[in-house]
Amino acid sequence: MEILYKSTRGGGEPVSASQAILKGLADDGGLFVPDRIPVFDKTLDAFAEMSYQETAYEVMKLYLTDFTEEELKHCIARAYDDKFDTEEIAPLAAVNGAYYLELFHGSTIAFKDMALSILPHLMTTAARKNQIKNEIVILTATSGDTGKAALAGFADVEGTRIIVFYPKDGVSPIQEKQMVTQKGDNTFVVGIHGNFDDAQTGVKRIFADEALKNRLDAHGFQFSSANSINIGRLVPQIVYYVHACAVLFKEGKLKQGEKINVVVPTGNFGNILAAYYAKQMGLPIDALICASNENKVLFDFFQSGTYDRNREFILTSSPSMDILISSNLERLVYRISGEDGEKNRGFMDALGKDGKYTIDETMREALDGFYGGYATQKEAGERIRAVYEQTGYVLDPHTAVASVVYEKYRQETGDGKPAVIASTASPFKFTKSVMEAICPSCEEADDFALADRLSEMARLDVPGAVEEIRNAPVRHDHVCEKGEMEQMICGFLQIAD
């Protein structure tokens, strides 16, 4: 039975999966959501005997129903190949009584690879299915990781161009160098004077600009998105939670009828939303533990029912979570509103106008399976040091936030269920923050020297993603004000005023 995709704001007609992937954002500014959440047609013991690629097909076929088996398996084979540096695409590491789901073994050493390795293949397949003649322009805002993963995925992909905006002073040195050294004649990277929310708001505004859309079409272009607002990003993220449960089941650490808790460090809410969808599909998940850093807008939402972005924006050691407008939360709010598009649109209008909205008591009750927590920068650093000293295992700052919040949850509730913690980035992506925690006396000045020292101390190889940019030339040195994003786009595409 085909699943169609509708807007969270109630406008327009439902579209197929391939059309939703191509459009990225609904015409009324809403996000595409499936018209129903499918249930698994395989049992956990069946998943336990599958490879990651086989699991991906069994999960994704339930959502991407207008893709043929051949098309979907081709996309999966192209995505989950030897670009990952471990035989197991997403291994689990047992550390201090929890299971860290390592999602950083792809080509850009962050969890975004798990979905952005396949999105270009889904998108080009979708374009063929829908007889798209225009060149697809991927327009993306990044808080650090999405940008590089999207650039790597779309670089030199025929029929596409990709434009990435990032906060000039809001990413780590390694994250920035990964982006500005990106090869590919179809790639364009711009730093903006502003924060991630400024970049994301600008991208959304450009998507909604009908005049610009018409100008692009006249020149043979059309926009799409590689951000987590694209349903083609969200669906592949469900897979690794299924895989994690299946591995625990196979190893006897999760028995039939038992449940796990899932802990996710998040700013934009997409990664934990995928776990929520997996739970709705029948995966044995109990608590969904949402871990925030000091930009704790999500923590406050779960505590009070009010989403309020009117606060100081804090730059932290976990920059991919330095976000005050969590785009994917809209999908959850829509769901708990009873899929009331008009009601949800009212919340989003209030967010745009007043910077806040408050859900009602019935909706708050529907959040019962979520637990919100946050960690300070000091707590995260102390956690990196403690885990390293106790076990030799090295956490990146984002995963450390999740680890701190999980300990708080366990102490507060006494809940001893097995916990899967999403480990979202390699510590080599944030060497300065990691080494400040585990070796405060280290005197190495730059991130690459620190990476070498971390490699020596932790007995880990420096990832290829770091080695390849060590001496790579800068190819993108564009910087603009947040109000100049459209001009930068038109300049890259050579669209005259």
Written as six digits, the tokens of 89 are: 């695409």
* DSSP, residue by residue, 59-77: HHTTT-TTS-HHHHHHHHH
Cα(453)–Cα(383) distance, integer angstroms:
20
Residue pointed to by tokens 């890259």 = 492
The burial class, CB within 10 Å (0-12 / 13-18 / 19+), for 203 is buried
Run of H or E including 374: strand 370-374
Specify the amino acid at residue 384.
I
| Residue/partner pairs of 58-61 with CB below 8 Å, 24 or more apart | 59/235, 59/238, 59/239, 59/242, 60/235, 60/236, 60/239
Cα(136)–Cα(128) distance, integer angstroms:
12
Cα(115)–Cα(140) distance, integer angstroms:
14
Classify residue 425 by its DSSP letter.
Answer: B
Longest CA–CA separation in the chain, Å: 63
Check if the beta carbon of residue 485 is closer than 8 Å to that of residue 167.
no
CB proximity list for 290: less than 8 A, separation 6 or greater: 264, 266, 269, 272, 298, 299, 302, 370, 371, 372, 373
Q: What value, to the nearest 5°, has the Cα angle with vertex 231 and ends 227 and 234?
A: 75
Check if the beta carbon of residue 230 is closer than 8 Å to that of residue 123.
no
Active-site residue list: 112
Q: Dihedrals φ, ψ of 84, to 5°?
A: -85, 135
What is the CB neighbour count within 10 angstroms for residue 422? 28
